[in-house]
Structure 1
Amino acid sequence: MRIGIAGAGAVGSYFGSMLEQAGHPVTFLARGSHLTAMQKHGLVIDGDGAEAHSTKTFTDNIEDLAGSELILFCVKSNDTARMAEQLLPILQEDALVLTMQNGVDNEETLEAIFGRDRVLSAATYVQAFLEAPGKVRQRGRVKLLIGELNSSAENACARVIETFQTAGIDAVHSGQILKRKWDKLLWNVTFNPLAAASGARVGQILDDPPLRKTAEAISSEAIGVAVAAGIAVEPDPTISKIFSNAEYARSHQTSMLQDRLQGKRMEVESMCGFIVRKAEEHGLEVPTLQSIYSTLSFMNQQIESG
């Protein structure tokens, strides 16, 4: 299967490399120092128990993705519409687009551009980060839950899942992928924005009483919004699961914190702005999340202004 990685950061680079090792032609679309390093020395994956080295196609020319049968859509949510609009005219009409992004609002943007039949969605569970340009470190479990947005894409989705499985990746089908993406969003909104604002890793949030209390408040507020939005969530068991799962990610430096430390725009809108707006729609107060959202939005403005 010819695969294009739209946004070869840590996550895209990791999965692209795994698929390439399994014999699939992979083209990595990247930029900046990460691209330069990969073009000079290849891509090194320091994985949990194994190391991989890719030396094939690294580019900043979107036209090089034209022949892809499958696009792993891994750009930050801030860039979803722009990247999709650039891909639309160059991709073949039956090419599939699999979003591996955070949040639950990217699917709506992608289906408006590509059509519901071509878009698949994945809840992506992986701890990966750029250790240095051209080198990705991955630790802990890796799991993908993949589902189609339209039942007409069920067979295509099964083929994509098999492709990941033959590359040694734990990938399974979900018939309720948007619900599973909400589950992941609730974990992310509990820890990701707070980590970005405080500079703390997940374990530090768990162990510091004031930070943990803030995380619990954010989690409770976000779950209330999910319930109001019609998502089948049980508050108490969900909070318990969020914090028990966090124990397995104690050393994790969240993606938003990574972006902040690297001077990049954070996924503030998709990660927490979306929930704040949903709360407003349903007449709910989310004071803790609103405070974090305001703080991070201001930080993003500072980053953008240089």
Structure 2
Amino acid sequence: MRIGVAGAGAVGSYFGSMLEQAGYPVTFLARGAHLAAMQKHGLVIDGDSADVYSTKTFTDDIEDLAASDLILFSVKSNDTARMAEQLLPILQDDALILTMQNGVDNEEILEATFGRDRLLSAATYVQAFLEAPGKVRQRGRVKLLIGELDSTASSACEEVIETFQAAGVDAVHSGQILKRKWDKLLWNVTFNPLAAASGAKVGQILDDPSLRKTAAAISSEVINVAVAAGIAVEPEPTTSKIFSNAVYARNHQTSMLQDRLQGKRMEVESMCGFIVRKAEELGLEVPTLQSIYSTLSFMNQQIESG
């Protein structure tokens, strides 16, 4: 299986490197200083259990992904539509698309572009960040939940899961992948935007009474939206799980905070805006999340204006 990584940031670089180490041909699509460093020195994964080195194909030419049998779609949600439109005309008709992105709205965009029968989705549980150009640090557990959006892709989905397992990745099938991604979104929305706005790591949010109270308010608001949207969520057990799981990520610097510190646009719309708009559609109030959303949206404008 030939694999293309569309968006070789921390997550794409980590999983692409694992697959390359297992003997699969992998092409990494990247840009900027990260690409330049990889082309010159290779890619280094400072892993929790071992270091991984990749030295093969790093490119900024999307045509180099044309022969891929599987695309690890791992760009930021801000770039989903643009990347999908660029990939569509060059990929083989039977190439599989696996979105490894945050949020629950990317699937709809990708389905509109590629169709439902070759689209797979993954809930990714990995603490990885770009420590320096060409170097990714990974700590803690790694797990992938992968599922098909259409039953016709079930056998293809199983093959992809086996491919990750062969690379030593804990990958399992989920028959309710969108529900599981909602579960992950609930955790992300509770901590990710607040971390970006405050500059705090997850453990600092847990330990600071005011920040923890704000996180709890966000969590409650978002769970209410999920329930009203028909997602099978039980509020009290879900809240307990969100905060108990956060203990294992105490030292984690969330992806949105990483982007802010690196001067990059944050995934504000996919992470916050989607929930805010869904709440409005359902006639619900989300005042705490709305405040964070407004703050981060303004920060994004400042980043974009330079």
SS at match of 1:172: strand
2:102 & 2:63 partners in 1: Cα distance? 25
Deviations 1:116-173 (A, max 9, x none): 0010000000000011000000000000000000000000000000000000000000
Alignment TM-score, normalising by the size of structure 2: 1.00
What is the one-letter code of the residue matched to 2:157? C
Partner of 1:274: 274
Letter in 2 for 1:157: C
Q: Quote how far apart the aligned CAs of 1:240 are.
A: 0.2
Cα distance between partner residues in 2 of 1:16 and 1:287: 39
Q: Matches of 1:236 and 1:287 in 2, distance apart?
A: 20
SS at the partner of 1:107?
helix
Q: Where do 1:80-99 residues align within 5 Å?
A: 80-99=80-99
1:31 aligns with 2:37: no
- Cα separation, 1, equivalents of 2:30 and 2:253: 22
Distance 1:195 1:46 in 2: 24
User: Number of aligned pairs?
Assistant: 306
Report the secondary structure of 2:232's partner residue: coil
Distance 2:271 2:299 in 1: 15
1:49 offset after TM fit, Å?
1.1
Q: Residue 265 in 1 paired to residue 262 in 2? A: no
Give the Cα separation in 1 of the matches to 2:272 and 2:187. 11
Question: Once superposed, which parts of structure 1, at least 4 consecutive aligned residues long, lie more than 3 Å away?
Answer: none
CA distance in 1, matches of 2:94, 2:72: 15
Does residue 1:78 correspond to 2:82, yes or no?
no
Aligned to 1:132: 132
1:186 Cα offset (Å): 0.2
Query: Which residue pairs with 2:184 in the alignment?
Result: 184
2:15 is paired with a residue whose SS is: helix
Q: Aligned equivalents of 1:214 and 1:117: distance in 2?
A: 41
**Which runs of no fewer than 5 residues in structure 1 stay unpaired?**
none
Whole-Å separation in 2 of the counterparts to 1:114 and 1:53: 32
Q: Tell me the equivalent position of 1:107.
A: 107
For 2:276 and 2:120, the matched residues in 1 are separated by 26
Amino acid at match of 1:189: V
Q: Which residue of 1 aligns with 2:205?
A: 205
Paired AA for residue 96 in structure 1: L
- For residues 65 and 280 of structure 1, what CA distance do their matches in structure 2 show? 40
Q: Does 1:252 align with 2:252?
A: yes
Root-mean-square deviation (CA, aligned residues, Å) is 0.3
Q: Give, in whole Å, the separation in 2 of the partners of 1:275 and 1:51.
A: 38
In the TM superposition, 1:1-306 aligns within 5 A as 1-306=1-306
Instruction: Give 5+ residue unaligned stretches, structure 2.
Output: none
